[in-house]
Amino acid sequence: MSLIIAVKQQSGVLLCSDNVMHEGSDGARMLRLSVPKLWNVSERVAVGMVGAARMRNVLRTIDWGEIVSRADSFAPADEIERAITSAVVPAAREELRDEKAWALFAVGRELFQLSADGSVVALAEPYWTLGCAELVALGALHAYRLIGPSAFDACRAAETAMDAAAQYMSAIVPPWVWAETVS
């Protein structure tokens, strides 16, 4: 069980995640991961995934060249979406067939989601979450944005949302892992 939070900011996208994997049919055994659920591919591209651990291995071996090239040339979102679809979906098809894996891609200030059905979509929302406590985290982000300080602090908002999720979901355990893109 996992949680990935992405918050758009002026300088790029901030991502935050837990770093625990649960094993066994009852999910009772927790393992801290040495390879995080999110990582930077380049300065302008970051990836976070939830679901089957195999998907993380698949995403780490993809040729990110075309996606990074589009990001570095400030290509429009639809071109980046096509590049992600071309590079990721064929490589991840086996994991997607099991409907056990989802991913977020931060490219500059843009955010894209890979769903279990193999679709890649650009997200217009200022923040997004994936995982077992996504609704708790979305609620915390929304509340923070409404009642938080006048200058929205993406790092504090993401940390608040992760803490809220950990409060109500025993599967979400600190320490948090961070990644960030630049626009």
**pLDDT tens digits along 86-111:** 999 888 877 666 655 688 999 999 99
How much is the pLDDT for 34?
62
Average per-residue pLDDT for the chain: 84
| Higher-scoring residue by pLDDT: 24, 165 | 165
Range 108-134 burial, b when 16+ CB lie within 10 A, else e: bbbbbbbeeeeebebbeebbbbbbbbb
CA atoms within 13 A on the CB side of 26: 2
Number of domains in the chain: 1
Whole-number CA gyration radius for the chain: 16
CA distances (Å), origin 127, targets 39, 45, 159:
18, 16, 13
CATH code of 101's domain:
3.60.20.10
pLDDT digits over 16-70, tens only? 998 766 555 555 556 666 667 889 999 999 999 887 677 778 888 889 999 999 9
Q: Which residue range forms the structural domain that includes residue 45?
A: 3-180
Whole-model pTM: value is 0.84
Residue 4, number of CB atoms within 10 A of its CB: 27
